[in-house]
Amino acid sequence: MTKLSVNVNKIATLRNSRGGNVPNLLKVAQDIEEFGAQGITIHPRPDERHIKYQDARDLKKVVQTEYNIEGNPIGSFIDLVLEVKPTQVTLVPDAVDAITSNAGWDTVKHKDFLKEVIDTFRHNGIRTSIFVDANIKMIEGAALTGTDRIELYTESYAHEYAKGNKNGVIPFTEAAKVAYQLGLGLNAGHDLSLDNIKYFKENIPHLLEVSIGHALICESLYLGLENVINMYLNKLK
């Protein structure tokens, strides 16, 4: 079964909008695990507009499943990850002012930088993953960095699926096959939803984990958080 890691950034956004502690991020993360999710993901950004760096530290104390921290490996992010020591760190090349992630790494151009960062994390017992497009050249480049896994950036798949074009999954299927041949573990995320997750899962071999936040929280407004998590788990079997 492909694991479901729930990104709780949107919970932090809602909390921050009122300046208090409602909803309680730590309690929501614990509830998500109790409802059956196999991981918690956060993506702290330098301006701390949703997840705060202190949240990353506090969540470490309560998360009992897999703990995944995503982000651009600038100095403050690297220091945070080394302090917290999550299960996994996912390296994402987003700009400081990015609203959301919108591209994977150029693993050829940034090979030396990525290798240096990955070596640092791996020497501290932290599994590493690189956010990449479904591009064979970039996946081959990722394998040369020493990363444990890649995370496929799935926005283009979700966009094509919404238009009724199921062939949009083909580049991801091919990318998954190449990743497996190169010995890379495979994660995926971005714009995956209850509508498109089952077809993606059925067509992506060796898919270890998906990270879902925005869609899952939006769907939960109508259907309820516990119900939605179990709906995802059923589709990922």
Q: Which residues are catalytic?
A: 43, 70, 190
SS3 7: strand
Q: Indicate if the alpha-carbon torsion angle 231, 25, 189, 1 is positive or negative.
A: negative
Which neighbouring-strand residues pair with 209?
A: 3, 187
Region for 101 from its dihedrals, namely left if φ exceeds 0, alpha if ψ lies in -120 to 50, beta otherwise: beta
Interacting residues of 124 by C-beta distance below 8 A, sequence separation 6+: 82, 85
Amino acid (one-letter) located at 33: E
Q: What are the tokens at 63?
A: 């998360």
Residues 139 and 182: beta-carbon distance below 8 Å: yes
| 59 alpha carbon, distance to own chain's centre | 16
Q: What span, in angstroms and rounded, lies between the C-alpha atoms of 3 and 115?
A: 26
